[in-house]
């Protein structure tokens, strides 16, 4: 691979801490009472880089089960974890079966059509698959009617090697929501028809709902990266594995009444000093942070003033000592001080959207 040389500090930086992802994964396992955990690495491991994240989890944390959304993600992942179990959440479609077989990938079968497609083509050697039952989210999975039909069809079941049955919670981020218990009861009832087959219900939030939700395999995503799936404080042992830092490009002084940025949406109400930082919406730092985002620098919170531009934001540094900050310095946009939770709260974006919205443009550093 060739790579053009340029100074490493000319871009904003996204640092991904693989050791923390490993620690977070282990913490997920212990929060799940020792239940085995799969790693949800769809969408390029929530934007954190599946090539780096998946082998780290496989080699250093003993993670053996991985889930991605589609077949393309699975085939890419196969190169990086040759011996892992890989599931595709979207299931199988006509023409896809040979790829699943060739790359030893397991489909999560979401309806009777997918089940029949998989059973027909593969009945002879019966490669492993998962069955997804919809217990109340009304998204993917067998509907209650299909579930009844499938449970009654032992001939069809005999054509399959069901390695896992699963369902997905709609409201795991709201522990008090009554749908959690409804889904738990629905899924528990289904599991009784599949004795001996491992069952899986809990995502990150589900792990925190308690032992009833853990079954045989949990499926954390967000919490592995340090996001908080619940309204309660982040559990001990879960730490931000992401860090975005932007660089100060320029400092400027404003008189009272002067404005900042496109649309002149922020006006200095006191003599002010601002710093221009080299991150904008083209990096995934969206305009939902206009006049409400926060950045952190040496223990100070520096609010975003004005609109987010394509390549820049402005932050108010009036309260810093003049000599404390200068061009070239790094300011935290996301990380230990500006957590996903905080960024989500001010912007109304979900933690998931913020994480997966991080663009390729950053210089990426893995540690």
Catalytic sites, residue numbers: 42, 262
- For position 222 contacting ligand PLP by CB under 6 A, the verdict is yes
Task: Check residue 294 and report its DSSP letter.
Answer: E
Angle in degrees, 0-180, between the axes of helices 144-152 and 112-122, rounded to the nearest 10: 30
Instruction: Indicate the pairing of strand 128-132 with strand 106-109.
Output: parallel
169 vs 260 by CB, closer to ligand PLP: 169
- For position 220 contacting ligand PLP by CB under 6 A, the verdict is yes
CB of residue 260 to ligand PLP, shortest distance in Å: 36
110 vs 295 by CB, closer to ligand PLP: 110
Question: Buried (b) or exposed (e) across 227-266, using 16+ Cβ within 10 A?
Answer: bbbbeeebbeebbbbbbbbbbbeeeeebeeeeebbeeeeb
Q: How many residues does the chain have?
A: 367
- For position 204 contacting ligand PLP by CB under 6 A, the verdict is yes
Q: Which of residues 144-183 bind ligand PLP (CB under 6 A)?
A: 168
- Structural tokens at position 263: 């649309």
136 vs 220 by CB, closer to ligand PLP: 220
Stretch that binds ligand PLP, among 71-79, 95-103, 222-230, 285-293 (CB under 6 A): 222-230
- For position 89 contacting ligand PLP by CB under 6 A, the verdict is yes
- For position 219 contacting ligand PLP by CB under 6 A, the verdict is yes
Residue 139 among known ligand-binding residues: yes
Q: Which of residues 38-57 bind ligand PLP (CB under 6 A)?
A: 40
Q: CA angle 243-249-252, nearest 5°? A: 120
What region does 226 belong to: left with phi over 0, alpha with psi -120 to 50, or beta? left
Residue 310 among known ligand-binding residues: yes
40 vs 92 by CB, closer to ligand PLP: 40
What is the rounded CA–CA span in Å between residue 67 and residue 155?
28
Stretch that binds ligand PLP, among 120-128, 218-226, 317-325, 357-365 (CB under 6 A): 218-226
Residues binding ligand PLP: what is the number (CB under 6 A)? 12
- Structural tokens at position 12: 């904003």
> Which of 55, 91, 107, 221 forms a contact with ligand PLP (CB under 6 A)?
221
Task: Find the distance separating the first CA and the last CA of the chain, reported in whole Å.
Answer: 21
What is the rounded CA–CA span in Å between residue 358 and residue 284?
5
> Which of 203, 272, 278, 295 forms a contact with ligand PLP (CB under 6 A)?
203
> Which of 229, 280, 293, 335 forms a contact with ligand PLP (CB under 6 A)?
229
Question: Buried (b) or exposed (e) across 292-318, using 16+ Cβ within 10 A?
Answer: ebbbbbeebebbbbbbbbebbbbbbbe
Taking the CA atoms of the chain, what radius of gyration do you get in angstroms? 24
CB of residue 222 to ligand PLP, shortest distance in Å: 4
- For position 107 contacting ligand PLP by CB under 6 A, the verdict is no
- Do 152 and 145 form a contact (C-beta atoms < 8 A)? no
Stretch that binds ligand PLP, among 94-102, 217-225, 233-241, 358-366 (CB under 6 A): 217-225
- For position 214 contacting ligand PLP by CB under 6 A, the verdict is no
- Structural tokens at position 149: 């039909």
What is the rounded CA–CA span in Å between residue 110 and residue 90?
8
What is the rounded CA–CA span in Å between residue 324 and residue 237?
33
135 vs 278 by CB, closer to ligand PLP: 135
Q: Which of 137, 130, 45 is nearest to 92 (CA)?
A: 130
> Which of 55, 205, 261, 293 forms a contact with ligand PLP (CB under 6 A)?
205
CB of residue 327 to ligand PLP, shortest distance in Å: 38
Task: List contacts with ligand PLP (CB under 6 A).
Answer: 40, 89, 168, 203-205, 219-223, 229
Residues making up the annotated binding site for substrate are 139, 310
């Amino acid at each position: 691979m060739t790579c053009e040389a340029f100074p490493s500090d000319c871009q904003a930086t996204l640092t991904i801490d693989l050791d923390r992802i490993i620690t977070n994964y282990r913490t997920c396992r212990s929060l799940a009472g020792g239940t085995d955990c799969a790693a949800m690495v769809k969408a390029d491991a929530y934007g954190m880089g599946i090539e780096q994240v998946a082998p780290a989890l496989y080699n250093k944390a003993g993670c053996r089960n991985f889930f991605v959304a589609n077949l393309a993600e699975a085939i890419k992942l196969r190169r990086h974890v040759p011996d892992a179990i890989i599931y595709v959440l979207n299931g199988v479609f006509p023409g896809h079966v040979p790829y699943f077989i060739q790359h030893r990938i397991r489909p999560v079968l979401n309806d009777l059509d997918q089940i029949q497609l998989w059973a027909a083509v593969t009945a002879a050697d019966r490669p492993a698959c998962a069955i997804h039952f919809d217990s109340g989210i009304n998204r993917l999975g067998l509907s209650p009617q299909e579930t009844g039909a499938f449970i009654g069809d032992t001939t069809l079941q005999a054509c399959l090697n069901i390695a896992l049955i699963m369902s997905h919670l709609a409201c795991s981020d709201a522990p008090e929501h009554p749908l959690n218990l409804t889904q738990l009861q629905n899924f528990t009832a289904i599991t009784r028809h599949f004795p001996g087959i491992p069952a899986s219900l809990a995502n990150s939030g589900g792990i925190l709902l308690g032992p009833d939700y853990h079954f045989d395999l949990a499926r954390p995503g967000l919490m592995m990266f340090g996001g908080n799936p619940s309204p309660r404080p982040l559990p001990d042992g879960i730490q931000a594995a992401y860090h975005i830092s932007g660089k100060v490009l320029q400092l400027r002084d404003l008189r009272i009444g002067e404005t900042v940025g496109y649309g002149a949406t922020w006006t200095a109400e006191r003599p002010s000093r601002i710093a221009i930082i080299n991150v904008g919406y083209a990096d995934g730092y969206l305009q939902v942070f206009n006049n409400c985002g926060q950045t952190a620098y040496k223990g100070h919170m520096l609010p975003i003033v004005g609109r987010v531009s394509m390549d820049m934001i402005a932050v108010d540094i009036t309260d810093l000592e003049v000599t404390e900050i200068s061009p070239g310095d790094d300011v935290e946009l996301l990380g230990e001080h500006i957590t996903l939770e905080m960024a989500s709260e001010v912007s109304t974006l979900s933690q998931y959207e913020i994480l997966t919205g991080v663009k390729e443009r950053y210089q990426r550093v893995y540690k």
